[in-house]
Structure 1
Amino acid sequence: MKFNGYICIYLYALYTNTISSSLSVGNGKQKSEIAEQNNEANFPRFAEPIPNITVTIGRDALLACVVDNLKGYKVAWVRVDTQTILSIHHNVITQNPRIILTHNDHRSWYLHIREVEESDRGWYMCQVNTDPMRSRKGYLQVVVPPVIVESMTSNDLVVREGTNVTLQCRAKGFPEPYVMWRREDGDEMSISGENVNVVDGEILSITKVSRLHMAAYLCVASNGVPPSISKRVQLKVQFPPMLSIPNQLEGAYIGQDVVLECHTEAYPASINYWTTERGDMIISDTSRAGDKFETISTNSGYSKFMKLKIRNVGPNDFGYYRCVAKNSLGETDGMIKLDEIAAPTTILTTEQSFLNKIKNRVMKKPNSAIVDYTEEWRNGNGNEADYTGDSTQSSRSPPSIRHPPGAFHNGAVSSRVFTAVVKQNGIFMCFISIISCSLLIQYYLMTFMTKTVLNR
């Protein structure tokens, strides 16, 4: 029992010593922390981190270091990657004339870098000469807008149709520029059988180039740093002349003006002219008014639209005319035949036939006074020969002809319109009936007046 009692006393004593030692250690730590905090309050501290900044090349950069409770300590700026001391407190140490140091109230310290270069990109550290040293650092990012590398970029090209073409565009900048190709006019490009608006990348490859590829192309480089940049590359495709004629057969009547048309395509630009059937070149003199021939030429890219105007067509003007196009790669021509057609009539045959029937009915009356009065009313001047002549002329049916483009024939058009109205519209027949009734009323009125005069 005594032994057990000693053990209990020993354990109690051990427990008491452990607790007392723990309390003493805790009090020591607290005192140490309090002392450290009091000591920390006497040291400088950074009020805020140094921000990372991004500056376009050629602009000015500003790095700020804010230190509280600096007291007698000093601030220094250091280039981290090269371990170069830029400034110590109020003095600039580096020999770089673009670096300037300013401060405000012994608290804010500013590092100015004028006209930033790519070599200025990197980490910058603000240090305070405590023991141990205290520091903060920030990153200066220098971005560069894209630039076209002329020595590695294609210039204007002249190639033959059917060959393969490669256009190259190289650009540099930071970040790495994105390069694309597009047509200056905004049209689609036919690349490998597909029509696209934009081709990504530095290389534009065209297989079996054709005249449709002839255009100005833009190489555009961008990297998010304004401004984007572009280069214009003109692609010219050579090919011999090609010719097309809208109408190879034209018709005209004596005294009419007619225009012959011819369309050509060529590059280099072709020399175009007109010749007669005998091979004589047609020369247009625009300085002389009323000249027989007038040549008109309109250019649209590699296309040329030629027109030959022949004024007051005469008997000797009918025949063949040749359109010719030449360039350094070849020559082509085409023929247009000008045929004579009958001049169109200007009197409506249906209307004239109706008037002739009325005339015949009136002419059957034996009374000469009635005939004269009727003829004067119908003809206006009593000249029967005019009506007879017109009637004879209108009885001829006009031939079936092909009129040249641009010619407007009043008679032919009026005849067709009149016939269509007779067939499709009953209004015209009503109009004819009204005219007939009016003529019959006048006829009976004239008969009554004539009888009254004879009875007297």
Structure 2
Amino acid sequence: MKSENKTTSRLKKGRFWITPDPYHNDDNIQIGREVKISCQVEATPPEELLFSWLKNGRPLRSSERMVITHTDPDVQPGTTNLDIIDLKFTDFGTYTCVAVLKNGGIPEVSIDVNISSTTVPPELTVPRGKSPMVVQEGDTVDLQCLVSGKPKPIILWSRADKEAPMPDGSLQTESYDGVLRIVNVSREMTGTYRCATSQYNGFNVKPREALVELTVQSEQALAAVFAEAADGEEG
């Protein structure tokens, strides 16, 4: 008998992004303009993915001002878009994208996106005193970028030298609080690190970026630096 290949049904990796009016050179949401909310979910099997939208918990249907579209089921991951035309104050609220599979049997994935006067694009800065960072080999160091905005996007860390791997061997690391913790640093980790806002779970705008310099010194070299500084103060 031939064995059947059974595919496990599942939904995963729910993401969203907000795109301000593409017809104006402005990253902010404005009354009277268009705003688009996109929702993306990976589904297995992809052809059974179904999307629906809610506003403040109530079902939302496509209309002339609230245009709902879906990508072709063959295109993965599945994406649905809600275009709000001529944004009004009455449109402010919580929009929920709900993803389910036709055959059911597994929990749905729902993503809440708030649209209001406080929904603003992100800004990214490096705290004072956090660059350059000089640490001793073997230490644990936290590289930090501060992100503001609502919703706050995920921060992506990478090396400024794009070919250089991150300390964990990857080319890019996600951070939800803007902190990149490096344990047991080595001198090979010396260099410039880039933090950037992601374009998902936030605003779909040009990424904000900042750089943090890290210098890792041997114990002997660091001791010599401190000794030289102490001599300078005494002199």
State if a TM-score over 0.5 links the two structures: no
More RCO (CA 8 Å, sep 6+): 2
For the pair shown, which has the larger CA radius of gyration, 1 or 2? 1
| TM-score normalised over the length of structure 2 | 0.42
Give the structure with the higher percent strand: 2
Determine which structure has the larger helix proportion and give its number.
1
